[in-house]
Structure 1
Amino acid sequence: MTKSDPHSNRDPSVDITITARELCLRFVEEFESGGEPDLESFMVDVPAEYRPEVLAELVNVDLLQRRAQGQNPSKSEYIKKFPLDGPTISAAFDAISDTVGDQTYVTESAIESTEIDLAIGDQVGKYEIRSVLGRGGMGIVFGAFDTVILREVALKLLSRKHAGDESALNRLLQEAQAVGAVHHPNIIGIYDVLEENDSYYLVMEKVSGENLGEVLNSSEQGRLDWKTATQVIIDCCNGLAAAHQQGLIHRDLKPMNIMLTDDSSAKLLDFGLAKGNQSDETALTKIGTVLGTPDFMSPEQCKAAEVNPTSDIYSLGATYFALLTGHPPFGSLQNHLKIMFAHCHRPTPNILDELPELPPACNDIIQRAMAKESADRYQSAQEFRVDLEAVLNGGQPSGSTQSFSATQSIEVPPTPASPKKWFKVVTAACLVISIATWGITLLQDIEKNQEGRPTNSVTGPQEAGSEETATPPLFRGVTENTIHLGTSTAYNGPSQELGRNMVVGMKSCFERINDAGGIHGRKISLTVLDDRYQPEKALQNMQDFFEDRDVFAVIGNVGAPTARVTSKYASENSYLFFAPFSGASLLREDPPDRYVFNYRASYVDETAAMVKHFVVNLRIPPENIAVFAQNDAYGDDGFKGVAKAMREHGIQSDDLIRVGYERNQLDIDEAVSTILSEQAHIQAIVMVPTYKVAADFVKRIKTEIPEMVFGAVSFVGSQALAEAFYEIGPQFGDGVLVTQVVPHYLSNATGVRRYRQDLKKYYPEYEPGFVSLEGYIAAECFAEGLRDAGPNLNTESLIDALHSIRDLDLGIGPIIQFSPSRHQASHKVWGTQLNAQGEFEIVDLE
């Protein structure tokens, strides 16, 4: 094969812009094209001051490529070519052994020898070792218990091999500093760094779950369904946005660095490679150093160029690819350098070629996230999330993939058909290739000019029922053709059934309206953002809605704790906050807040009806009624309602027994213990929890006290509660009272029949239920206001129209009414009770 000279046709005026990264990639390119590049030719024009570093890198590349072809070149072979560079050649061989080895991945057996003498039950400072959670190339992770604060933690212990390595220790400390500055539900928290007996520990939040590599490996198909994968990446975008806001770039995003918790939320971990706002002198990784995992590296990381937040976007796009297919984009290449070359030059494979049943929009999103040029990618995690949410909610991504630069059009071989196999190996935690650079300033200027093209614009997701239009808005969220609404809800986590069913109910109504031509010629779209029942996230969603997405109003937000901050934000900014799924008193001021409207009865209405039923109908002495409530605004409101009802019977709130638990947690041991210790004085319990906690609480109490009477307010989620009892034993749910703010969903009332027909037509996969019926009624009330407001729609005209609604009969029983002094449409409370078959029967509360 003829040797080639890569410099023969090069313009001498750009010699200064040549860098080691370019030489390495050119070197690989020649191998890829079937050539045998000559090291000596590549070294001709390298300035003497950079020769050792560049030669070491090219030797590494040459060694890896030749080994991949079955050759076994010796160190002496290279020394014969470069007799004056013996030390450099030796260093190159040593480096390749220490970093990427012989192109095999580090397996579990290879990292067993961490030489750690700790055993279960040992004490490390104030931490008691309780389990081994996992192992990695840098050390081992223990499950431990903080004996002072009394909480479960995870301890990442740096192995003895790395404890004396200043670089490894710096990475450990950098991870603590990086993540310690960020507090976010989608990032594993770090509490402390501990030094004990010459060993270093990272004290982290302990989360139950598995990393996504383990999830994929254990899944039946070796991949996730597209909806789950999309939601996971949405979570990652949320965490990534928080990190980027603090100036942190993760730089090693991959399935193994994402934890899927038991409540199906995703958390980013292992920020050991994160780049923060460090000086050039202290940064662990700079231009000229490749640091990360090749399968998920961005092109600029592969080139050892400067990284920015879009580098994480690229890696997250590659991770999305892996979740959907079960393997990384270029996993078939099985060679680190070839993979890196592919990230820089080969087009990203189309997932539809492998899995045509996936939504095409998923591929569009991946192509944009993995664009070769940084400027062609999503420019922020928030922008990435917008398109993911649009697809998840039935819409389309906002940008076009036509302009994404692939640099070269090279055929990509088909990826392996067995995705599980790839995830059964543990990827090396860190691939390090030192690359010296020169002429870097001029090169960066050139690259910046090349990347100075305009980025793809974001037009916002096209949600269910909306039509793409170029018509300018007439008012925020309103065009000639559309009305854009938003809802921040618990779409995942312990309360997800409430959020999902509320959304389905609202959309069923809006779909019917849209099919009939809309309201005044405008169709209604609904964007759904997941807040997981977390106030801080809900507030972010509200800001996103009104400041970035230009929604007209929000409808059907779920929960009192979230409403405490979201309704305030809406009111302060004169945004309409309509029909939240909450009976909280904070949403029912007297006189009412102009911008907050409720459909449903309040928790005070519900608990008063429940207490009346217990005392009057069941003849339970009021002093023998206790309260089990969530420790937050939702639970407090329910307790206040019970206390108000009890005052009519001469019982003060201080005399009531109240037990509870923390929001989004399942620990009820103390609550159960208190009730059992006071059982002689308790005959009935009013519950203000979520469904999973309620079912567990009832089971544990009924196991000890079978005759105990239970009642729960509607927010518990009736269908979800029934399903929870079905799983743990329907007999435990028998007799549990649940108050409702809508009629029974199987009622033959005109409005309920209309709801069931629309639900079956538009969302046949959903069964009728109380929560989706409430969403449907809320949407009907809102639609009536839109009709009355006329075509010249804005927030104030809609509020005035709502105030004019009198005697609106939706065929559900109570007559809907609003006025300037009445912002709660209904005070009606219905009674239902679970039977031994898990079905709800009507109970007369009067």
Structure 2
Amino acid sequence: MTKSPKTIGHYEVKELIGKGGMGEVYLCYDPKTERDVALKRIRPEMHGIPLIRQRFLKEAKIAAQLTHPAILGVYSIEENFQDLFYIMPFIQGKTLKTLLASYRQSKASTIHLVRDFLTICHAVQYAHSKGVLHRDLKPENILIGPFNEVLIYDFGLAEYADMNEESFDDMPVLKSHPDLTRVGKIVGTITYMAPERILEKLDSVQSDIYSLGVILYQILTLKHPFKRQSVKQFKQQAQEEKILDPIDVAPMREIPPLLAKIAMRCLSFKKEHRYQNLKEMISDLEQYFEGKADWVFAARLDPKNPSDWELQETVVLKQTKDWAIYMLSSTLFPGNVKLEAHITLEKGSEGVGFLLGVAHRM
């Protein structure tokens, strides 16, 4: 086992706190600012590989450009012929992955974590506004601090929205460093990846939204929405993958219907059925916190499409056989009026809603 260095640059190394495919993270003391910092440097055995250095440097620059309270920032980037590292704030907290594991043991409610999840969504929305896709959103890349700090970190797989997977996946050097990528040249964590990323290698805002949906599902149920063993297995069974409603998966956890609906929409197989941007998703989450969770979005109707309004063609009043669109008045219907509807839902229908306007004459 390689011993940790005593110093890196002018930083005094306290301990190694993490190690990944490309880099290693140390808790260090900065004597110039007299504070603890987190230092991430490229692994020594990869220092001499230009393409690995390029990717590591790109990760640091992307994180440095994202100045948001819920994104772990970068103080500085230092590069020379011997070393490449960057400096971040040191936050003594726990990852969301660790917290969820503890909740599985205690069986306590996790609804309060939804507010932290909303903070995460705002941070990802900000990254998207800067043209950055995270591409590896998962609980272990989310840090929760002791003073309610909520931070996304590890932009090692991040790309600008106009890039594609080939920007790094097809590098020949990966053959000698298989821990830097995934089977089939797909980077990311398969259990958090949108179907189109696995099947077509396509990244988009909607693929990050899918990953957020997996995280929300886990917060609500403390379970994963599906089991994926490998890229090969998913490709063979993609169309058969079924995701159960969180309420059905964890009926004893009293999951609010609106939150379950948000998670399920994020996890739609086709990206056009998901939220098209974080603004839409955040709006629904804020609706929950405002106590307006009784109205749940089911489908968007197109007034120009007759098939969206077939219900009107079958709604009649029992005695008059007329359309059920009426202006009721005391002269037309003296006394109390009762409207009764008998509705038959076709296969695949999710529900029906009524809007009744009552005018009161003073």
Give me the TM-score of the superposition, normalised by structure 2: 0.70
Q: 1:78-109 CA distances to partner (integer Å, 9 max, x unpaired)? A: xxxxxxxxxxxxxxxxxxxxxxxxxxxxxxxx
Q: 1:744-777 CA distances to partner (integer Å, 9 max, x unpaired)? A: xxxxxxxxxxxxxxxxxxxxxxxxxxxxxxxxxx
Q: 1:378 aligns to what?
A: 275
Q: 1:162 aligns to what?
A: 46
CA RMSD of aligned residues (A): 3.0
Q: 1:534 aligns to what?
A: none
Aligned AA for 2:4? Answer: L
Q: Does 1:302 align with 2:188?
A: no
Q: Does the C-alpha gap of structure 1 residues 397 and 274 become closer, same or farther in structure 2, counting only changes over 3 Å?
A: farther
Q: Does the C-alpha gap of structure 1 residues 324 and 342 become closer, same or farther in structure 2, counting only changes over 3 Å?
A: farther
Relative to its length, the structure with more helix (as a share) is: 1
Q: 1:423 aligns to what?
A: none
Asked if the contact 1:213/1:255 (under 8 Å) is kept, the reply is yes
Q: 1:353 aligns to what?
A: 248
Give the Cα separation in 2 of the matches to 1:169 and 1:153: 22
Asked if the contact 1:216/1:222 (under 8 Å) is kept, the reply is no
How far is 1:224 from its partner?
A: 6.8
Give me the TM-score of the superposition, normalised by structure 1: 0.32
Q: After TM superposition, list the pairs within 5 Å mapping 1:70-109 onto structure 2.
A: none
SS in 2 for 1:243: helix
Q: Does the C-alpha gap of structure 1 residues 280 and 369 become closer, same or farther in structure 2, counting only changes over 3 Å?
A: closer
Q: Does the C-alpha gap of structure 1 residues 169 and 149 become closer, same or farther in structure 2, counting only changes over 3 Å?
A: same
Q: Does the C-alpha gap of structure 1 residues 257 and 129 become closer, same or farther in structure 2, counting only changes over 3 Å?
A: same
How far is 1:127 from its partner?
A: 1.3
Aligned AA for 2:268? Answer: A
Aligned AA for 2:188? Answer: G
Q: Does 1:283 align with 2:167?
A: yes
How far is 1:206 from its partner?
A: 1.5
Q: 2:317 aligns to what?
A: none
Q: 1:415 aligns to what?
A: none
Asked if the contact 2:198/2:231 (under 8 Å) is kept, the reply is no
Q: Does the C-alpha gap of structure 1 residues 279 and 351 become closer, same or farther in structure 2, counting only changes over 3 Å?
A: closer
Please, which moves more after superposition, 317-326 or 340-349? Answer: 340-349
Q: Does the C-alpha gap of structure 1 residues 359 and 277 become closer, same or farther in structure 2, counting only changes over 3 Å?
A: closer
Asked if the contact 2:165/2:186 (under 8 Å) is kept, the reply is no
Q: Does the C-alpha gap of structure 1 residues 340 and 271 become closer, same or farther in structure 2, counting only changes over 3 Å?
A: farther
Q: After TM superposition, list the pairs within 5 Å mapping 1:333-372 onto structure 2.
A: 333-339=228-234, 345-356=240-251, 357-372=254-269
How far is 1:372 from its partner?
A: 1.6
Give the Cα separation in 2 of the matches to 1:345 and 1:398: 30
Pick the aligned partner of 1:326 from 178, 197, 222: 222
SS in 2 for 1:140: strand
Give the Cα separation in 1 of the matches to 2:165 and 2:221: 41
How far is 1:401 from its partner?
A: 4.4
How far is 1:400 from its partner?
A: 3.0
Give the Cα separation in 2 of the matches to 1:230 and 1:397: 18
Aligned AA for 2:203? Answer: V
Q: Does 1:317 align with 2:217?
A: no
Pick the aligned partner of 1:199 from 51, 73, 83: 83
Higher RCO, Cα 8 Å, sep 6+: 2
Aligned AA for 1:259? Answer: L
Q: Does the C-alpha gap of structure 1 residues 168 and 212 become closer, same or farther in structure 2, counting only changes over 3 Å?
A: farther
> Which stretches in structure 2 are left out of the alignment for 5+ residues?
171-183, 306-358
Q: 1:138 aligns to what?
A: 22
Q: After TM superposition, list the pairs within 5 Å mapping 1:503-582 onto structure 2.
A: none
SS in 2 for 1:144: strand
Aligned AA for 1:395? Answer: K
Aligned AA for 1:252? Answer: D
Q: 1:201-248 CA distances to partner (integer Å, 9 max, x unpaired)? A: 231122121111122223353777342231121011111011001000
Q: After TM superposition, list the pairs within 5 Å mapping 1:252-651 onto structure 2.
A: 252-276=136-160, 283-284=167-168, 289-331=185-227, 333-339=228-234, 345-356=240-251, 357-396=254-293, 400-401=297-298
How far is 1:131 from its partner?
A: 2.9
Asked if the contact 1:186/1:267 (under 8 Å) is kept, the reply is yes
Give the Cα separation in 2 of the matches to 1:321 and 1:390: 18
> Which stretches in structure 1 are left out of the alignment for 5+ residues?
1-112, 404-452, 454-520, 522-846
Give the Cα separation in 2 of the matches to 1:325 and 1:284: 35
Aligned AA for 1:212? Answer: L
How far is 1:249 from its partner?
A: 0.3
Asked if the contact 1:125/1:196 (under 8 Å) is kept, the reply is no
Q: Does the C-alpha gap of structure 1 residues 264 and 338 become closer, same or farther in structure 2, counting only changes over 3 Å?
A: farther
Aligned AA for 1:253? Answer: L
Q: 1:160-193 CA distances to partner (integer Å, 9 max, x unpaired)? A: 3433444433332111121111100110101223
User: Between Structure 1 and Structure 2, how many residues are aligned?
Assistant: 287
Please, which moves more after superposition, 163-172 or 335-344? Answer: 335-344
Give the Cα separation in 2 of the matches to 1:166 and 1:363: 46
Q: Looking at CA atoms only, which structure, 1 or 2, has the larger radius of gyration?
A: 1
Aligned AA for 1:239? Answer: A
Aligned AA for 1:337? Answer: K
SS in 2 for 1:395: coil
Q: 1:242-277 CA distances to partner (integer Å, 9 max, x unpaired)? A: 100100000000011111111223211111111116
How far is 1:149 from its partner?
A: 2.8
Q: Does the C-alpha gap of structure 1 residues 196 and 167 become closer, same or farther in structure 2, counting only changes over 3 Å?
A: closer
Q: 1:268-295 CA distances to partner (integer Å, 9 max, x unpaired)? A: 1111111116667993359x95221000
How far is 1:398 from its partner?
A: 6.5
Q: 2:344 aligns to what?
A: none
